Amino acid sequence: MFHLTVPALVIVGLLMVAPIAWLLSMSFVAPDGQLSLENYRLFFAEPVYRDMFLNTFKIAFIVTVLCLLLGYPVAYLLAITPAPWSGLLMLAVLMPFWTSTLVRTFSWLIILQRNGLVNSALVGAGLVERPIPLVHNMTGTIIGMVHIMVPFLILPLYASMKAIDGNLMRAAANLGSSPAHAFARVYLPLSMPGLVAGTIMVFVMCLGFYITPALLGGGKVKMIAQRIEESLSLYATWGPAAALAVLLLLMTALCLGLSLMLVRRLTPEV
């Protein structure tokens, strides 16, 4: 049977292992072409790199939390709504996938700009005296990223919720449990697989986000992906860019491992 898996192993090696190995080797190449740890020394010596990593993880964390707060109720509504209304709601969730990330980001740039729809409505309603800055800052970046990321949380969460037997909640109610207690002790633990999958997917994708922070951040919100792009396009320095990519990969893997361990400890038995 092993020989049947050889083609798949070769494809995985060519498409995943080989590029990572090449990236790792390039991270040890100094600007003069010699093997060196200089690229990694810059990360620990220059505060700007550490601040950029912290900013990247902070934005990813905020976006993930907001996606959880917005996505869980939507997924729950999808799971309990009967057809055909559930199909219409699912269509609304899937519609953003019909347009590219670039188009959606430009749409938010138009909506949130100084004379955009949001500021015009706020000024017209008398809620603010003058337009508030919603683009080229952290606020606009997070709004755009949440809009793009929340469907990636809803879909696995919906699949997990749809597999939950509705009789379990009714059984808990018949045994005297309040709706809130039944939800916390029965429904939430059973939806945990989809919740964990969606959360990890959103968090990891946010760490490598480029287009939305670059446009809505206006160069003022720096994330690792932008710095990697600048190292290649502006300075053509493959070594520092590769070192940043390797460090981001290692930190992402560490966060994933810790999150999975934490979830296993906190998930109660039902």
- Position 2 scores a pLDDT of 61
pLDDT at 208 over 90: no
Q: Report the C-alpha gap between 222 and 217 in whole angstroms.
A: 8
- Model confidence pLDDT, tens digit, residues 115-156: 888 888 888 888 888 888 888 889 999 999 999 999 999 998
CB atoms within 10 A of CB 77: 15
Which pLDDT belongs to residue 265? 67
* 263 band by pLDDT with thresholds 50, 70 and 90: low
Query: Any idea where the domains of the chain sit in the sequence?
Result: 2-100+149-266
Band (268; pLDDT cuts 50, 70, 90): low
pLDDT attached to residue 71: 92
DSSP line for the chain: -HHHHHHHHHHHIIIIIHHHHHHHHHTTB-TTSSB-SHHHHHHHH-HHHHHHHHHHHHHHHHHHHHHHHHHHHHHHHHHHSPTTHHHHHHHHHHGGGGS-HHHHHHHHHHHHSTTSHHHHHHHHTTS-SS----SSSHHHHHHHHHHHHHHHHHHHHHHHHHTS-HHHHHHHHHTT--HHHHIIIIIHHHTHHHHHHHHHHHHHHHHT--HHHHHHSTTSS--HHHHHHHHHHTS--HHHHHHHHHHHHHHHHHHHHHHHHHHHHHPPP-
| Encoded tokens for 155 | 């879909």
CB 71 within 8 A of CB 90: no
Under the banding of pLDDT at 50, 70 and 90, the label for residue 72 is very high
pLDDT digits (tens, 9 = 90+) for 34-43: 777 877 887 7
Percent of the chain whose predicted confidence (pLDDT) is above 70:
95
| pLDDT for residue 59 | 93
Task: Work out the average pLDDT over 1-28.
Answer: 77
Architecture of domain 2-100+149-266: Orthogonal Bundle (1.10)
On the CB side of 92, CA atoms within 13 Å amount to 10
Confidence of residue 267 (pLDDT cuts 50, 70, 90): low
Q: What is the mean pLDDT of the chain?
A: 83
Q: What is the pTM of this model?
A: 0.85
Dihedral sign computed on CA atoms, order 68, 74, 80, 83: negative
pLDDT digits (tens, 9 = 90+) for 216-259: 888 788 888 888 888 777 767 788 888 888 888 888 888 778 77
